[in-house]
Structure 1
Amino acid sequence: MALSYKKDLGKYKDLDEDEILNNLSAEELKQLESALEEMDPENALLPAGLRQKDQTTKSTTGPYDRDRLLKYLEKEAMEHKDRDDIVPFTGERKGKAFVPKEKPMESRQEEVTNLDPELEEALSSATDTELCDLAAILGVHTLVTSNKTYDGTGATEGHNNVIKGEKMNPVFDEPPNPTNVEETLQRIKSNDSSLKEVNLNNIKNIPIPTLKDFAKAMEKNTHVTKFSLAATRSNDPVAGAFSDMLRENKSLRSLNLESNFITGVGVQALVEALRDNDTLTEIKIDNQRQQLGTTAEMEIAKMLEENNTILKFGYHFTQQGPRSRAAAAITKNNDLVRRRRLEKDP
């Protein structure tokens, strides 16, 4: 029997299932679906939304009116009687109501100190100045404000009864930088002999091309000795332009580039330019937007060791090694200046 059963199944191996399904009609597919559901009602391999028959193909029983349906549901809900409580609510209170205990108010009476008649007479007739001196001896320094403690020492009547607080002195903001940017640039280009110092600090609306024009104009200027560019939003391109200026200019003595957006790349460009400059004595590059890094600090220390003219270098090193080397180099340069001065003035 088993062999004959297997022979009967063998003829179904070569059937094409896809072809059979494609040839079925819609009604035959529905019958097949219902048959499969009866065979496996759980349908564990199907999503949850597909485990039931499609029940949306029913014909409508009437026109759909949302407002009418809501009114009908509200009416049905109002007409439906609530379930009777098994234990009716009677409103009876059980137990005792909590009543907080009232604590009697404690009347605090100050202790009366009895003094000698002579001491009471002396205190009653004492002036404010004498009371302040007595308070200072006893260590009660907060009896009167420190600024008013000895105001009445020079007067015969002592302190007044009413002591007013001091008025606070208003602290006004610093006025904006009055430097005319365009006029100053033209004076630098014309090599004005009366222009010795350029101060552009805290002028934050100077365009980057204008700052580069300042650096370009300073290359041929022979009168400006101090140039300050702090807090002007200068970046690496501006630092590169000023590094080119330092290679050409031989009259500038002080350069301030603090509180800007210069990174280690711009600082290294300035350091390379200072190797070829023997006139600058002071440069400030501290308080940039980001730290320069160890590589830039090592290059700065190496440059200061090779340079003999820089006497002041404004930068706070973060590494101990470059800091020590830079301090030693600055000390050496100042010592050389002192020796030259002593040789000229024996």
Structure 2
Amino acid sequence: MSVMRKEMEKYRDIDEDELLKKLSEEELQRLEDELDELDPDNALLPAGMRQKDQTKKAPTGTFQRDNLLAHLEKQAKEHPDREDLVPFTGEKRGGSLLSLSRRFRVMFAEKLDSGELEEALASASDAELCDIAGKTPSLDMNFWISSTQYKPVPDEEPNSTDVEETLRRLKRNDPDLVEVNLNNIRNIPIPVLKEYAEALMENSVVERFSIVGTRSNDHVALAEMLKVNTTLKSLNVESNFITGTGILSLIESLQKNTTLLELKIDNQSQPLGNKVEMEIASMLEKNTTLLKFGYHFTQQGPRLRGSNAMMNNNDLGGLDTHTHTHTHTHTHNTAQMQCCVLNKLSLYHVKSPSLTLIPFHQQSSCIS
């Protein structure tokens, strides 16, 4: 048996109650103080529970506020004030400005013209002007600022589009229905939005479709519609509940769509994330027909890649329009113009009106 165990065996059969009975009152108080579990660093506990009770005096009685205030006031009057380290002699330093301020009061009371007032103010120093401003509270300075009553701006009127009637016109391919605007109509069921997407697959008239703030989600199959539709030029799905998967499928469908010129997908309920933004930038670089893309990238890399892709598409779009107009009449001039426009891209140059691209280092051969 070890020595420690032998020492502990002595205390096994000790009666604690007998030991406590033998302790005096002072020893019991000391034992109680040692056993108190206090937390002085816990600011949430009252002060009495953060430290030991050190008050040994008996209570003097109930608290009486009026008597306490009277005692404190009496004690303050009986206690002599501390003498100043530097005695006050009553000496006044600096010039007195009472006469100057009184003169200005008289001048304002007589309502002098602007010339005399300006001359008087010009002759006063900065200190005198400050003193005048502080000692003439009766001067009304409200004439310096005039309030303007602004006209109340009325709230924007709710969207008055008839959802059911517009859907019927869309299905029958109404030639007068060029734009469909369902913005901020929040009570449109998801099945109705699906019917709009299905109707756009066969519609050949509508060029602009906007469903901003309609609680649309991934189940609205707009991506499948874009793969088939050849008339739509502008699509706006901002401020909805479309996830990153739905956005990627929407942009991926542009590989089979060459007529859509504008796409807005910003301000969705969930952030798309860095991975989705990188994939969006890669898809935009592969597209050559989209001219406007509405989305605020959170990362600088995808933002620069997306903006460069849109800039290239706009430059190429303007070049195609110019070539289509002047190919038959100005063949030689068109080739030179194509070279100049593509020179901005610093990548390729046009060799002939058929838009055959050649590397940048061969630019001298295309201008003759």
User: Aligned match of 2:100 in 110, 114, 118?
Assistant: 114
Correspondence 1:281 to 2:293: no
Question: Identity of aligned pairs, percent?
Answer: 47
Superposition pairs for residues 1-346 of structure 1, below 5 Å? 97-99=71-73, 112-114=98-100, 121=107, 124-126=110-112, 143-144=141-142, 148=146, 165-238=147-220, 241-343=221-323, 344=325
Taking a change above 3 Å as real, the CA distance of residues 98 and 184 of structure 1, as seen in their structure-2 partners, is: same
Taking a change above 3 Å as real, the CA distance of residues 119 and 324 of structure 1, as seen in their structure-2 partners, is: same
Long gaps (5+) in structure 1: 1-39, 43-88, 103-109, 149-164
Q: Distance in 1 between matches of 2:115 and 2:100?
A: 24
- Compute the RMSD of aligned alpha carbons: 3.8
Q: Distance in 2 between matches of 1:178 and 1:131?
A: 63
Structure 1, residues 204-242: CA drift from partner, whole Å, max 9, x if none? 00000000000000111111111111111011111xx11
Taking a change above 3 Å as real, the CA distance of residues 145 and 295 of structure 1, as seen in their structure-2 partners, is: farther
Taking a change above 3 Å as real, the CA distance of residues 311 and 128 of structure 1, as seen in their structure-2 partners, is: farther
Letter in 2 for 1:170: P
Aligned residues: 228
Q: Distance in 2 between matches of 1:270 and 1:122?
A: 75
Q: Distance in 1 between matches of 2:239 and 2:144?
A: 41
1:70 matched residue in structure 2: none
**Larger Rg over CA atoms:** 1
Pairwise CA distance, 1:116: 9.6
Taking a change above 3 Å as real, the CA distance of residues 288 and 111 of structure 1, as seen in their structure-2 partners, is: same
More helix per residue: 2
Contact 1:219–1:248 (8 Å) recurs in 2: yes
Pairwise CA distance, 1:97: 2.8
Pairwise CA distance, 1:98: 3.0
Q: Distance in 2 between matches of 1:172 and 1:228?
A: 24
Structure 1, residues 141-178: CA drift from partner, whole Å, max 9, x if none? x9346663xxxxxxxxxxxxxxxx43343233211111
Q: Distance in 1 between matches of 2:186 and 2:172?
A: 25
Letter in 2 for 1:250: T
- Greater relative CO (CA pairs within 8 A, separation 6+): 1
SS at match of 1:98: helix
Q: Distance in 1 between matches of 2:306 and 2:251?
A: 13
Pairwise CA distance, 1:113: 4.1
Q: Distance in 2 between matches of 1:115 and 1:98?
A: 44
Moved more, 123-132 or 267-276: 123-132
Structure 1, residues 111-146: CA drift from partner, whole Å, max 9, x if none? 7343697995587334699989x99xx999x93466
Contact 1:271–1:299 (8 Å) recurs in 2: no
TM-score, scaled to structure 1: 0.57
Structure 1, residues 283-311: CA drift from partner, whole Å, max 9, x if none? 00011011112232122112211111101
TM-score, scaled to structure 2: 0.54
Q: Distance in 1 between matches of 2:115 and 2:175?
A: 65
SS at match of 2:241: coil
Letter in 2 for 1:114: L
SS at match of 2:231: coil
